Amino acid sequence: MDAHGIWETVKKKTSNKAPNQKKSKQALAFLFQAIPEDMVLQMASYTDPKQVLDWLKTRYLGVDRVRTSRLATLKRKLEILRMKEDETVDDFVTKLSGLASKVRSLGYELEEGDLVKRLLDSMPKSFLQIVASIEQCFELDSMLFDEAVGTLKTYEERKRATEKVEDTQGRLLLASDEKSHVCKYCGNGHSNRDDFRHDRGRGRGSGRSRDGNERVRDKSHVRCYKCGELSHYKNECPKWEKEEAGLIEEELTLF
């Protein structure tokens, strides 16, 4: 109506000058086009566009109250919103931007600097270092929201790359440590030297695990130094036992 120069017909009258009838009818037509048909029938007797606008304000007075309540709820959500440790910067920024858009749509002026401060205050402990750097090196009131998001994403990518390298190095060290305790002949080994000390004196073919249960080793790849056969050690060789039995028998015969 303001673009068509007829908004003055629905404003509060400050003079006794008679309204322009043509402009009043145009304003009335605009109002009737903007409301449901059943309401048009209820206000069919109105000829003054200001009366129609006042009636609409009275009818929808509760809408303002609902909007105020909704705005308060969204502002509380903005205050308590926090980024989780396993959440990405992109996902969190999407949530924050969505709430900010809803707040602005309800008429609340959310400045760019306030949104930047809200973003930094919502970061988890793992981002404490970069947040402190941003607060010390930048003027938050004049800092753009996209600039703050870009800085946080750069830090996030570097942090993930560092964690990936450390995880890879840890796996390599663990694999190297396990390999150093494996026997090159039988393929068996111990997880640490304590197990080796505990197993000494119990025979080469058995031992005990950490829970105290008897542990049997796989001897399928073990080759006997006495007979050259697989599946047993030299001190378990049947030929060795037969030779020992023969020597004992000879000694008894001599006596």
Q: Are the C-beta atoms of 231 and 219 separated by less than 8 Å?
A: yes
DSSP character string of 1-42: -TTTT-GGGTSPP-S-PPPPHHHHHHHHHHHHHTS-HHHHHH
Specify the pLDDT at position 202.
Answer: 44
Q: Which pTM value belongs to this model?
A: 0.47
Q: 199 or 110: whose pLDDT is higher? A: 110
Q: What are the structural domain ranges in the chain?
A: 7-59, 64-168
CA distances from 223 to 13, 53, 122, 203, 240 (A): 112, 102, 65, 16, 14
Query: For 1-25, what is each residue's pLDDT tens digit?
Result: 888 888 888 876 555 667 788 888 8
Q: Are the C-beta atoms of 113 and 142 separated by less than 8 Å?
A: yes
Kindly state the percentage of the chain with pLDDT values over 70: 70
Query: For 48-97, what is each residue's pLDDT tens digit?
Result: 888 888 888 777 766 777 788 888 999 999 999 999 988 999 999 999 99
Specify the pLDDT at position 15.
Answer: 57
Query: For 120-176, what is each residue's pLDDT tens digit?
Result: 999 999 999 999 999 998 888 889 999 999 999 999 998 888 877 777 777 767 666
